[in-house]
């Protein structure tokens, strides 16, 4: 129309002639996306069903009309709902099939454990536990909430502040303080931290007029540490670890009635309080007998820099803090003879030859730190040396498995290179993805480790230890579900909705975010506070409701759920999907809206591989379960189930 008007200049008028000429060329507006919006859904349906062009051309008018009606605009929401149900069902079938087939396999009996490792139920610990058990069958692992029942407000050595280390729904009941064994050690630690800040460009604070002028003149020099950190994050991470040597410390674990309160809370615990905490945790996870000579209690946290969302990567059971102090305190409680005497009165006999060691697993760098090793008996020196070697190997394998998800990491890194890559991400100022956190979480298995041990679950499952054989009335299961249900559903739905609509339910991309008043983030300099998860945390997530699989009979599970209205509401309203697995009967059931329905196997084949690496190596996406048998030379049945 414009070319026509320019080619036929009109008179010097008010434009009436031009409007008339343009009107002659007017045509009805056609939305270029309209035809695609009509044909697109049909194309996707045909593609998914495997229909060929000849099949579509040969369809009758009635069949085509029914298909168009199905995918029409009025039914689009219903079709999307059906697709999502099928999406969730496919994962559910894969996992339930795997549990049933794995239970029917003639699994070799494991030897008496020489070491038991307690970890958080966090899905990121699934792979660490699996790799540790692959290294040596003498390791036995358990999963429990990462605060281990130790609800405290904690202050670390050299830190003037404090933070609550317990679930957000729980108020701290005690204060816990980390103190250096000597004042000189604490002074050296504070000095090394100051030097590290100077070296890595973290120093700050207020400066005077002269100091400001000097900084202005030497600004380019001051940028060198930051440039080094940006360009060489792996070397920076190693330098930081060398620069700061934490002093020997102890926890103020034992309460002194004469000491003043801190933060309005008693400092430390009485022996009766310790016995209550230990008794409940060990009983709920089913570890009341058969203790190994060495028991490791691991908390977890995550390291990153320039990350306003850092708390979201830490332990949820510790309100976004690191669970190392809780694990350390729990282990110290278990080592006290006065506490063990009280536990004996409650039917829990911890042998005199058993020793507990606390520790912290960094889920971003895969470093594992063990506490208070100088207090361990000399007779366990060889066991502790073996433990440290095996933890190093398991951590490297864990980093290798995690790196396959990072687009910036080559698929065929060796384990040492993968560990260096993971460590480098934690110190990279420009890194938007220090780790992927709970991404792809999809299930929660509540039961004994033996029902899932040796299964590759792809870091997608929360693993909660529970022994139904010692819980005849279901009371322990009810307590576990009251804790695990809301926590698991909260994490799962946070990822679910943030992925479904990253701008409305999520926080969008983190790149333009600015911290506001230390309470949240906003886009640029003027926007609403952004809630939900950022795009870099959920971009590879598979959005599906949490599949809660409980070891036991459906009727017993239903009674336990009925005891807790909060859990019942989550189950009844289908915010989480409930299933059961009974290893005695070798059957699984799924809770449909109409009631429990026995799961029918869709395959009698479960892939068998010699190691986790053999199954995931060279793969980026999510993988179905596989059975790990160390003596399997080649994958079996892989072609039937491997994507």
Which whole number is the average pLDDT over 251-265? 93
Query: Where residue 445 falls among pLDDT bands split at 50, 70, 90?
Result: very high
Q: How far is CA 345 from CA 289, 340, 469, in A?
A: 14, 9, 21
Q: What is the pLDDT of residue 45?
A: 74
Confidence check: pLDDT of 206 > 50: no
Which whole number is the average pLDDT over 508-527? 90
Query: Where residue 476 falls among pLDDT bands split at 50, 70, 90?
Result: very high
Q: How many CA atoms does the CB half-sphere of 444 hold within 13 Å?
A: 30
Average pLDDT, the chain: 87
| Number of residues assigned to the chain | 643
**Cβ atoms of residues 400 and 417 within 8 Å:** no
Which whole number is the average pLDDT over 469-482? 93
Q: What is the pLDDT of residue 218?
A: 56
Which among 613, 229, 619, 239 has a CA at the least distance from the CA of 425? 229
* Dihedral sign (CA 514, 517, 521, 524): negative
Which class for 377: exposed (0-12), middle (13-18), buried (19 or more C-beta within 10 A)? Answer: exposed
How do beta strands 595-598 and 587-592 pair?
antiparallel
Boundaries of every domain in the chain: 72-109+438-643, 124-181+248-436, 185-243
> What tokens appear for 273 in the block?
């309080």
DSSP per position, 366-380? --EEE--GGGS-GGG
Greater confidence (486 vs 158) lies with 486
Query: Where residue 182 falls among pLDDT bands split at 50, 70, 90?
Result: confident
- DSSP run (H or E) holding 224: helix 219-231
Confidence check: pLDDT of 77 > 60: yes
pTM passes above 0.95: no
Which whole number is the average pLDDT over 551-566? 96
Which whole number is the average pLDDT over 573-593? 97
Which whole number is the average pLDDT over 366-388? 97
**Cβ atoms of residues 454 and 609 within 8 Å:** no
Q: What is the pLDDT of residue 167?
A: 93
Which whole number is the average pLDDT over 602-616? 96
Q: What are 108-166's pLDDT values in tens digits?
A: 678 899 999 999 999 999 999 999 999 999 999 999 999 999 999 999 998 888 999 99
**Cβ atoms of residues 562 and 591 within 8 Å:** no
Greater confidence (3 vs 404) lies with 404
Query: Where residue 5 falls among pLDDT bands split at 50, 70, 90?
Result: very low
Lowest mean pLDDT segment, chosen from 9-23, 230-244, 293-307: 9-23
Q: What is the pLDDT of residue 555?
A: 96
Q: What is the pLDDT of residue 213?
A: 58
Greater confidence (229 vs 470) lies with 470
How would you label 212-240 residue by residue, b for 16+ Cβ within 10 Å and e otherwise?
eeeeeeeeeeeeebeebbbeebbebbebb
Q: What is the pLDDT of residue 6?
A: 44
CA distance 315 to 459: 16
Q: What is the pLDDT of residue 259?
A: 87
Confidence check: pLDDT of 90 > 90: yes
Q: What is the pLDDT of residue 4?
A: 42
Q: What are 302-319's pLDDT values in tens digits?
A: 999 989 999 999 999 999
Lowest mean pLDDT segment, chosen from 29-43, 242-256, 360-374: 29-43
Which stretches does DSSP call E strand in 73-162?
A: 115-120, 139-144, 152-155
Query: Where residue 1 falls among pLDDT bands split at 50, 70, 90?
Result: very low
Q: What is the pLDDT of residue 525?
A: 86
Q: How far is CA 80 from CA 37, 70, 520, 538, in A?
A: 14, 11, 33, 21
Report the percentage of the chain scoring pLDDT > 90.
Answer: 69
DSSP per position, 536-551? HHHTT-----EEEEEE
């Amino acid at each position: 129309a414009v070319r026509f008007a320019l080619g036929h200049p009109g008179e010097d008028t008010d434009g009436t002639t031009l409007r008339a000429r343009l009107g002659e060329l007017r045509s009805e507006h056609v939305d270029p996306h309209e035809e695609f919006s009509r044909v697109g859904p049909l194309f996707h349906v045909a593609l998914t069903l495997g229909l060929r062009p000849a099949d579509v051309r040969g369809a009758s008018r009635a069949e085509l009309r029914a298909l168009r009606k199905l995918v029409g605009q009025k039914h689009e929401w219903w079709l999307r709902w059906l697709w999502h149900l099928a999406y969730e069902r496919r994962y559910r079938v894969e996992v339930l099939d795997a549990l049933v087939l794995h239970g029917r396999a003639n699994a070799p009996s494991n030897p008496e454990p020489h070491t038991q490792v307690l970890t958080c139920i966090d899905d990121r610990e699934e792979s660490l536990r699996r790799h540790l058990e692959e290294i040596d069958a003498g390791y036995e692992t358990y999963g429990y909430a990462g605060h281990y029942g130790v609800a405290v407000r904690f202050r670390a050595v050299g830190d003037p502040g404090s933070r609550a280390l317990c679930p957000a729904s729980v108020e701290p009941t005690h204060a816990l303080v980390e103190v250096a064994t000597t004042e000189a050690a604490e002074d050296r630690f504070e000095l090394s931290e100051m030097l590290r800040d100077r070296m890595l460009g973290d120093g700050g604070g207020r400066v005077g007029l002269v100091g400001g002028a000097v900084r202005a003149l030497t600004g380019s020099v001051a940028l060198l540490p930051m440039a080094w950190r940006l360009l060489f994050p792996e070397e920076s991470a190693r330098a930081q670890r060398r620069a700061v040597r934490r002093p020997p410390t102890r926890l103020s674990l034992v309460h002194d009635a004469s000491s003043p309160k801190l933060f309005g809370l008693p400092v430390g615990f009485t022996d009766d309080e310790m016995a209550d905490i230990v008794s409940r945790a060990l009983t709920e996870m089913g570890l009341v007998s058969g203790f190994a000579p060495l028991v490791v209690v691991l908390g977890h946290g995550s390291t990153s820099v320039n990350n306003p969302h850092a708390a979201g990567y830490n332990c949820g059971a510790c309100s976004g803090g690191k669970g190392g102090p809780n694990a350390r305190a729990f282990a110290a409680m278990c080592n006290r003879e006065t506490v063990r005497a009280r536990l004996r009165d409650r039917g829990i006999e911890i042998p005199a030859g058993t020793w507990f060691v606390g520790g912290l697993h960094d889920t971003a760098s895969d470093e594992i730190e063990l506490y208070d090793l100088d207090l361990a008996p000399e007779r366990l020196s060889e066991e502790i040396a073996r433990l440290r070697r095996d933890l190093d190997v398991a951590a490297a394998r864990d980093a290798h498995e995690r790196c396959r998800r990072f687009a910036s990491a080559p698929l065929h890194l060796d384990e040492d290179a993968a560990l260096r890559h993971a460590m480098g991400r934690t110190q990279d100022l420009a890194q938007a993805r220090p780790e992927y956190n709970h991404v792809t979480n999809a299930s929660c298995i509540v039961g004994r480790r033996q029902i899932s041990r040796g299964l590759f679950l792809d870091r997608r499952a929360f693993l909660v230890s529970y022994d139904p054989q010692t819980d005849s009335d279901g009371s322990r299961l009810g307590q576990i579900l009251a804790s695990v249900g809301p926590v698991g559903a909260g994490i799962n739905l946070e990822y679910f909705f943030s992925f479904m609509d990253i701008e409305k339910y999520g926080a969008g991309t983190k790149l333009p975010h600015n911290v506001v008043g230390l309470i949240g983030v906003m886009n640029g300099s003027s926007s609403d506070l952004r809630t939900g998860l950022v795009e870099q945390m959920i971009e590879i997530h598979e959005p599906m409701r949490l599949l809660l699989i409980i070891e036991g009979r459906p009727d017993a599970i239903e009674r336990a759920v009925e005891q807790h209205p909060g859990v019942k509401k989550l189950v009844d309203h289908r915010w989480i999907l409930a299933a059961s697995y009974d290893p005695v009967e070798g059957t699984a059931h799924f809770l449909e809206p109409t009631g429990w329905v026995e799961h029918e196997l869709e395959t009698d084949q479960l892939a068998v591989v010699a190691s986790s690496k053999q199954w995931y190596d060279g793969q980026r996406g999510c993988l179905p379960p596989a059975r790990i048998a160390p003596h399997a030379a080649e994958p079996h049945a892989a072609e039937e189930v491997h994507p």
